[in-house]
């Protein structure tokens, strides 16, 4: 994990308060401020710093510029059994995804499975924030999205897919959910920006220069590599799956047609799509048997033989460890985010977190 600029940790509650008050001050309605803050805080709490509070200045710019609707009215535009399509009315992506997952869970309660295609949404932050909502209700949650092109294909030398995240959360009786939250690129671009802010070199084989060759210089990054290194065709294939579900199936823009996240146009809605799915385990198997199977699987996994000096973890274990530590110690804010927060605090008259 990246180590931010050494300073006393800022409490999670203070960061949450700052995000909500800043979003409200820039004109976002309560539902938007709540959803955006919840998603960002999920990222920060669980160590997904690239998709945490550092996104606040970007979201403010998108709200102020008109890219995002400050008071959207998401509405179901079609329904067929366990399937619905939600038009998010150019909402902040977190509001759209939380709303879609609520509908998917409600459908799963009735039909055993629920799927919601989301239209006219935008960047939603960490995909795991939405899948975990289903798991907290006892369901298996899936979240997919595409984004503007920044990832080359395997052996490619131009941007094609977005980072196109896939997330799955599975409930575990008496314990935190099994939680997979992954970009289909080797890393998300926000991670590159974070490394750039901290002045640290990138890991190997995660980013490429303008010719498609690997670089560890965050400042020279022109595109990201697909997940898988020498076997990047697997990551590119998974990115295609997310693309099909979130763009083709929703009728929204493909990655290479989406306006860049970083602008310069912050006045035009981006016309993005997303897809969420919820499965009720009891529709397939008795709950006790499902819980027993998950517990046995995870117990065996975590106690399986590890390499010397290493620990075998299930998806989500690292995040739960980070969350426990940050609940107690707070979060160190990277220099670029700290500077941006100071500017927001002055602009909107909001007290700095921890200050």
**What is the per-residue pLDDT for 355?**
55
| Strand, helix or coil for residue 115 | strand
Contacts of residue 40, Cβ cutoff 8 Å, sequence gap at least 6 = 19, 51, 52, 53, 55, 56, 94, 125
Q: What is the pLDDT of residue 166?
A: 97
Which pTM does this prediction carry? 0.93
What is the pLDDT at residue 189?
80
Q: What confidence score (pLDDT) does residue 354 get?
A: 79
Q: Is 234 exposed, middle or buried (0-12, 13-18, 19+ CB in 10 A)?
A: middle
Profile the chain (355 residues) by mean pLDDT over runs of 10 residues. 52 97 98 98 94 96 98 98 98 98 98 98 97 98 96 94 97 96 88 85 91 90 91 95 98 97 95 98 98 98 96 96 96 91 97 84
Residue 16 to residue 29: CA distance in whole angstroms: 16
pLDDT digits (tens, 9 = 90+) for 278-309: 999 999 999 999 999 999 999 999 999 999 99
Cα torsion 241, 244, 249, 250: sign: positive
How high is the pLDDT of residue 91? 98
Q: Given this model, what pLDDT does residue 8 score?
A: 56
Q: What are the tens digits of pLDDT across the range 161-193?
A: 999 999 999 999 999 999 999 999 998 787 888
pLDDT at 194: 80
Distance CA 134, CA 171 (A): 8
Q: Mind listing the pLDDT tens digit for each residue in 119-152? A: 999 999 999 999 999 999 999 999 999 999 999 9
Q: What is the pLDDT of residue 5?
A: 40
Q: Hey, which CATH number is domain 72-334, 2.30.42.10, 3.40.640.10, 3.40.50.150, 3.30.1370.60?
A: 3.30.1370.60
**Quick one: 51 exposed, middle or buried, by C-beta within 10 A (0-12, 13-18, 19+)?**
buried
Per-residue pLDDT at 4: 39
**Domain range list for the chain:** 72-334
Question: Could you give the maximum distance between any two Cα atoms of the chain, in Å?
Answer: 56
Strand 166-172 to strand 175-182: parallel, antiparallel, or no bridges (unpaired)?
antiparallel
Between CA 246 and CA 145 the distance in angstroms is: 5
Q: Of 184, 292, 175, which Cα lies nearest the Cα of 234? A: 184
Give Cβ neighbours of residue 322 (< 8 Å, ≥ 6 apart). Answer: 1, 45, 46, 47
């Amino acid at each position: 994990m990246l180590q931010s600029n050494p300073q006393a940790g800022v409490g999670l509650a203070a960061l949450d308060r700052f995000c909500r008050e800043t979003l409200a001050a820039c004109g976002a309605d309560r539902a938007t401020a709540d959803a955006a803050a919840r998603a960002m805080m999920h990222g920060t709490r669980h160590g997904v710093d690239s998709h945490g509070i550092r996104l606040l200045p970007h979201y403010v710019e998108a709200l102020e510029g008109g890219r995002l609707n400050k008071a959207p009215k998401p509405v179901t535009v079609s329904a067929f059994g366990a399937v619905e399509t939600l038009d998010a009315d150019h909402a902040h992506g977190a509001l759209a995804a939380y709303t879609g997952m609520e509908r998917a869970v409600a459908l799963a309660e009735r039909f055993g499975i629920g799927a919601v295609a989301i239209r006219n949404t935008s960047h939603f932050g960490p995909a795991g924030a939405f899948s975990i909502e289903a798991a907290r209700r006892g369901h298996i949650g899936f979240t997919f999205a595409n984004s503007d092109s920044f990832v080359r294909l395997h052996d490619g030398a131009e941007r094609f897919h977005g980072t196109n995240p896939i997330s799955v959360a599975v409930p575990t009786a008496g314990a935190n959910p099994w939680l997979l939250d992954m970009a289909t690129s080797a890393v998300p671009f926000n991670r590159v920006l974070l490394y750039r802010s901290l002045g640290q070199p990138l890991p190997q084989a995660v980013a490429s220069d303008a010719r498609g060759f690997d670089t560890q210089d965050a400042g020279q990054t022109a595109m990201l590599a697909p997940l898988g290194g020498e076997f990047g065709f697997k990551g590119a294939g998974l990115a295609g799956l997310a693309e099909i579900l979130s763009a083709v199936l929703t009728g929204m823009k493909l990655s290479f047609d989406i306006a860049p996240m970083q602008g310069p146009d912050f006045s035009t809605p981006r016309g993005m799509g997303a897809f969420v799915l919820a499965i009720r385990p009891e529709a397939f198997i008795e709950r006790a048997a499902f819980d027993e199977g998950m517990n046995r699987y995870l117990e065996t996994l975590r106690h399986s033989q590890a390499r010397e000096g290493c620990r075998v973890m299930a998806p989500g274990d690292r995040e739960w460890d980070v969350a426990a530590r940050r609940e107690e110690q707070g979060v160190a804010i990277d220099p670029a985010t700290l500077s941006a927060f100071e500017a927001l605090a002055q602009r909107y008259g909001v007290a700095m977190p921890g200050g």
